[in-house]
A and B are shown apart, each in its own frame.
Chain A
Amino acid sequence: MGRTSTLLLSAAAIVLAGTMPALSAWQPQKPIEFVATAGPGGGTDNLARAVQNIITKHKLVEQPIVVVNKGGGSGAEGYVYGKASAGDPYKVIFGTSNAWQQPLVSKVAFNYTDLTAIAAMAQDEFLLWVKQDAPYKTAGDYLKAAASGEFKMGGAQSKDTDEVLTRMIEKAGHIKLTYIPFKSGAETAVQLAGGHLDSHVNNPSESLGQWRGGTQRPLCVFSPKRLPQGAKVTATEGWGDVPTCVEQGLDIKQYEQPRTVWLPGKVTPDQAAFYVDLMKKVQATPDWKDYIEKTSQVDTFLTGAELDKFIKEDLEHVKQVAGEQGWLVK
C-alpha cells in the first residue's frame, strides 16, 4: 500500500507546511471552501477540483481546501450563497458567465455586483455540431438546409449561453430554429447522436468523445481564428482542422464562455489580491496546462480592469439578444 502511505504523507505535509513565506499581506488562517456553481462532474466542478488539486499538490496555500457543490437553480444556488457570505474571504465561487447573464433573464436573488470578481481563467469555445451522417459538409450547407425545413437545435439550459448563441445564429443566418433545452451539454450530445436533434453548439470537451466515436462532427468554430492544432481527435482531423464559422459564411466572429472565479462581496483588496495571485500561480503550473489541454479549453487570464471590461461588453451583447427575444426580467 505504498500509494496510501504516499497520500497520508502528502496530507501530513500539507498540514505541516507552515513555513511558506508570506507573499501578500493577507494569508488565510482557516480552511477554504471552493464553491462550484454546478453539480458534480460538470465543467465548472472539474475546474474547481482541478484548481484544488493543483494548489494541494504544489502546496500553494497552507490551509486545506474543500470543494462543495451548489449547482441548484442552474448555479444560482452557489451565487446566492456567495452573496449571503459577504465579507467572508474563505469562500471562493467558481462559475461561468452566467454570474452576470442569469440575473438578466431570470428573477434570481443575486447580481454579479454582489460578488468580487477575481479572474476569468479559461475560455471554452463553442462549435456547431451535426450528426455524423448528416448530408451537409459546411456551415453554408447547414444554413441552406435549415432555411427550408425547421431544424431542432439542442442546448444546455434555457436562456443561457447556448440559447443566446442559437438566437445569434438565427439572426446571422436568416433562419428559424426550434431550441430544445436539456440539463447539460453531455445530455444534448447524446440526443444528437440518437438523431433526436439536428444540431447543437457544445463546447469541445462536451462532445470530444462523441466526435472520436464517430457519432457527430463539428461544422465550424465560433472563433476569430482556427483553434490550435494539438493532437488529432479522429484518425484524420484535430481541433485545428475545424474551419471558423466566418470562413463558411456564418457571420459570428466570436462567442466564448469564460470560466470565472469570485469572492463574496465586501472583502478587502488585500484578500482579493491574495486570490488573484494564487490563481496566477495555479496557472503557471504544468498541471494547469495539462488540464487545459485535456478539456480542450483556451488558456486566458483576465483580472481587474480587463475582466471588468470583458464583463461589461458581454453584458451589453447579451442584453441586446435578450431584449430582442423578450427575455429581460428587470
Chain B
Amino acid sequence: MDNLGELLHGFGIAITLPHLALMVIGVLLGILVGVLPGLGAPNGVSLLLPLTFGMQPVSAIILLSSMYWGALFGGSVTSILFNIPGEPSSVATTFDGYPMARDGRPTTALATAFGSAAFGALIGVILITFLASWVAQVALAFGPAEYFAVYFLAFASFVGMGGAAPIKTVVALAIGFAIAAIGIDTVSGSVRLTMGVDELVKGVNFVVAVMGLFGIGELLVAVEEEFHARAVSSKIEWREVFRAVGRLPRHSVALLRSAAIGCWMGITPGGPTAASFMSYGIARRFSRRGRYFGTGEVEGIISPETADHAAGTSALLPMLSLGIPGSATAAVMMGGLMIWGLNPGPMLFVDQKDFVWGMIASMYVGNIVAVVLVLLTVPVFAALMRIPFVIIAPLIVIICVVGAYSVSNSYLDVVMMLGFGIVGYLFKKLFYPLAPLVLAIVIGDKAEDAFRQSMLMSKGSLGIFFANKLVTCLIVAGIVLLLLPLVLQLARLLRKPAPSIHETTVQNTARETAREKVII
C-alpha cells in the first residue's frame, strides 16, 4: 500500500487554506462556465490557463481541475432544466432529466444527478489511487482496432434502444455520420462535404449541433404544443434535496454498473461522452423499468451521470501517466503542464510525486467541495423553472445564439445552429430519435478514423478485429448488443403461442434470449 502513504502525503498538500480557497473559486467558476452553454469546460480552462503561469504547478492544477469538476456538474443543470446540454457528455442526461424537470420535479432531478455524479467521480478517483500503474498499461494496449471496437460497442449499445423504429435509428445514425464527415479528413487529408462554403472546412462543432437540435428544437415543439404552458410549480424544498440523495443507495446496481462503464471508458480512453451514452443504453436494456426510460426515470438520470463523471475523472489518469488526454479539457490541462515545465508521461509519477499526489488528493477534496456547493445551488436553479414560458423561451434563444457564436466567433455557426433547430423539430414531429444522431456527430469521425487506420495497418483485412483477445471480446460484445433486440423480437415471435411468457420481466426475457441463441 505504497500508494496510500503517498496519498496521505498528498492530502497534506491539498488541505491547506490557500488550496481549499482555490478549490472553492475553481468550482464556482466551473459551475458558471458549465451552466453557460457554449462556454464549457475546455474553453473555461483555457481562459484561466494564462493566470496560472505564475503559480506553483500543484496550485495551478488544483485550480484548473476544480474548475473542471464544477463545469461537469454545471453542464448537467441546463441539460435538465432547459434540455440544452452544455457538454457533449451531458446529452444523455437530458433524456430523462428534462422530462422529470418538466414534470414538476426539477429539485429531484438535479439532486439525483449531482448525487450520482459525485459517486461516479469518487469511484474514478479511488481507481486512480490504487490502480494507477496497472491502468496505464491497459491504455497502451489500445491501437486503432481496439479504439474502433470501443466505439462500435458504444454504437451497438444504442441501436435498437428507444421506441423508435430501428430503421429510423439507422437513418438518424447515417445523417449523423454524414455531418461528422464534414471538414478535413484525417486519413486522406482532403476536404469533404463543404458544399462550397469555405468556412465549413473546420467541420461542424458539437455545441452548435446540440444547441440547435435540443435547445431550439425542443423550444419549437413547446411553442406549438403548449403555448399556454404555465410555469412548472416547483417548491423550493431543501428536504427534497436530501431525500433524493438519500434514495440513491436503492439504485446501487445501476450506480455500480454505470461507474464501472465510466471508469472503463475513461481509461481506455473512449471518453465521457461515449461512456454516458453507453451507460444509458445499457441501463435502458437491463433496468426493470427500462420501458419507462425517457419519461423521467430516476435510473435514466443516474446511469449517464455516474458514468460521465467516473469517465471524466479517470480520463485524467492516461493524461498524467501516458500523456494522452482522455477528454478535450484534459488536453488543455496537458498543455498547461508543459508550460509549467512538467512533462506528462510515465516519469511524472517518479519525478513529481508532490504534484501527482497533491493533485490526486485534491480530486477527493475538490469533488466533495464541488458536490456540497452544487447541492446548495439546487433550489436556486430549480426556481428557474417557475419563470413563465413566455419569459424563459426568448432567454433560451438568446443563450443558444450567444453560445453558438462564442464557439469560434462565427456567424455561420449561428445560422447552422438555427438550421439544426429545425432539424431537431422535424425529428421530434416525425418520431426520429435524436440520440443516435448526436452520438454519430460526436464519435462518428473518431470511429471512422480508427476503422480506416486499422484497415491501413492490416492492408484491408477485417481479421485485425479478431487479432487478439481484447479486441475480439469488444467486437463480440458489440455484435451481441447489436443483435439482442433482433433476437428478442424473434424470441417473442416464437413464443407467442405461450401466453404465460407475455408478462415476464426483462431479465427473464434476457435469459430466454440467451437460451434462444443457443438454439439458433
Contacts and interface: CB of A to CB of B under 8 A. Distances in A.
A42 interface: yes
Given A40-B46, A56-B50, A106-B184, A189 B343 contact: no
Most-contacted residue by chain A among B141, B188, B449 (CB, 10 A) = B188
Contacts of A294: 338-339, 341
A191 to B, nearest CB: 6
B399 interface: no
A105 B189 CA distance: 8
B409 interface: yes
A157 interface: yes
Contacts of B59: 3
Contacts of B203: 72-73
A249 interface: no
Contact of B189 (A40, A52, A160, A291): A160
B448 to A, nearest CB: 12
A182 B334 contact: no
Interface string A190-226: 1101111000000001001110111100000000000
Nearest to B456: A180
Contacts of A195: 140
Interface residues of B, number: 57
A41 B325 contact: yes
Given A72-B202, A73-B202, A189-B323, A178 B457 contact: yes
B142 A74 contact: no
B49 interface: yes
B201 A108 contact: yes
Contact of A49 (B328, B339, B343, B459): B339
B321 to A, nearest CB: 9
Interface in B320-376: 322-325, 328, 331-335, 338-339, 341, 343-348
B18 A196 contact: no
Given A42-B335, A194-B142, A72 B190 contact: no
User: B46, B449, B456 — which one has the most chain A CB atoms within 10 A of its CB?
Assistant: B46
A39 to B, nearest CB: 7
Nearest to A329: B190
Interface string A307-330: 000000000000000000001000
A106 B140 contact: no
Interface in A285-304: 291, 294-295
Contacts of B344: 209
B145 to A, nearest CB: 8
B268 to A, nearest CB: 12
B226 to A, nearest CB: 38
Contacts of B5: none
Contact of A3 (B54, B332, B347): B54
A169 interface: no
A193 B201 contact: no
B186 interface: yes
A249 to B, nearest CB: 28
A40 B331 contact: yes
Nearest to B188: A158
Contact of A295 (B49, B142, B191, B338): B338
Given A1-B18, A41-B334, A194-B140, A210 B202 contact: no
A211 B58 CA distance: 24
Contact of A183 (B55, B201, B449): B449
A213 B202 contact: no
A193 B322 contact: yes
B364 to A, nearest CB: 23
Interface string A166-180: 000000000000111
Given A76-B202, A157-B189, A50 B339 contact: yes
A39 B59 CA distance: 24
A131 to B, nearest CB: 11
Interface string B191-204: 10000001101110
Given A7-B51, A40-B335, A212 B202 contact: no
Interface in B27-74: 42, 46, 49-51, 53-55, 59
A45 to B, nearest CB: 6
Contact of B343 (A52, A72, A209): A209
B53 A53 contact: yes
B144 interface: yes
B514 to A, nearest CB: 34
Contact of A73 (B42, B141, B183, B348): B183
Nearest to B333: A41
Contacts of A180: 144, 453, 456-457
Contact of A190 (B42, B189, B191, B324): B324
The 8 closest A-B pairs by CB, nearest first: A209-B345, A72-B202, A213-B346, A158-B189, A196-B143, A41-B335, A109-B198, A77-B202
28 contacts: A1-B18, A3-B55, A40-B328, A40-B335, A41-B331, A41-B332, A45-B335, A73-B183, A73-B191, A77-B202, A106-B184, A106-B191, A107-B190, A109-B201, A158-B188, A182-B186, A182-B449, A182-B453, A186-B323, A186-B324, A187-B324, A189-B323, A190-B323, A190-B324, A191-B143, A209-B347, A213-B346, A294-B339
Given A53-B339, A106-B184, A160-B189, 4 more contacts: A7-B54, A49-B339, A72-B183, A294-B338
Interface of B: 18, 21, 42, 46, 49-51, 53-55, 59, 139-144, 183-191, 198-199, 201-203, 322-325, 328, 331-335, 338-339, 341, 343-348, 408-409, 449, 453, 456-457, 459
